[in-house]
Amino acid sequence: MDQYTRAREAALKALGGNAATRVTAYYRPDSDYTGHTFLTVGPNDPFRITATDLFAVTLLNAAVGPRATRAVLADEQLTVDLKAVPADVALEHADDETLVLAGVFYERIKQLFVDPTARQSEPWVAPAKLAARKRPELLPVRDALVRRYLGIEPPYSFRTDWDTYRRLMLDPEIRGLLDGLPQLDPPLRLLDVVLWTKARW
């Protein structure tokens, strides 16, 4: 069984059974899950990054330290790279140029999160979540838990992850099941919630 087939089977399993119950629980205002707040806590300007965006990332249990905070908020090139990524394109409709620009943006965030004083620093979780906050229809929230659930194997790559999510979003059966759930966030974000709650709960 190839990697994508494993991912598809895992996604279908997550979208079945009690998926609607899990999604509803995740978005309940009186719960301690992030729910809508990840995308709605403001301001959320699609063309700039603020301290509120970094706060939103921490709500998904990703650490954003003082050094990374200063680096991200002060970096003018990051703003340029963000503005170059279309804000109205969904992952399943993105062309190669859009994905290249998104990759430049994501790699810039990763670079800013690297700790130059550490013996080894390869941050990716917080950068992935920050990128997803700014482009929620294009870039998936990624973490190790969901990656393991989908059966994505090393060597890990954001491009492999994006391709897996893109194929899932293009799958008619998966989209049909997603469409049948409460539409509480953009479909790509909703897919991540379904996968994360299945893997976590």
Give the residues of the chain that fall short of pLDDT 70: 117-122
Quick: pLDDT tens for 71-113: 999 999 999 999 999 999 999 999 999 999 999 999 999 999 9
pLDDT value, residue 115: 84
pLDDT value, residue 117: 67
For residues 142 and 188, is the Cβ–Cβ distance under 8 A?
Answer: no
**Percentages (nearest 5) of helix, strand, coil residues in the chain:** 60, 0, 40
Quick count: other Cβ atoms within 10 Å of Cβ 149?
20
Question: Whole-model pTM?
Answer: 0.94
pLDDT value, residue 155: 82
- Nearest CA-CA partner of 110 in 151, 139, 87: 139
pLDDT value, residue 87: 97
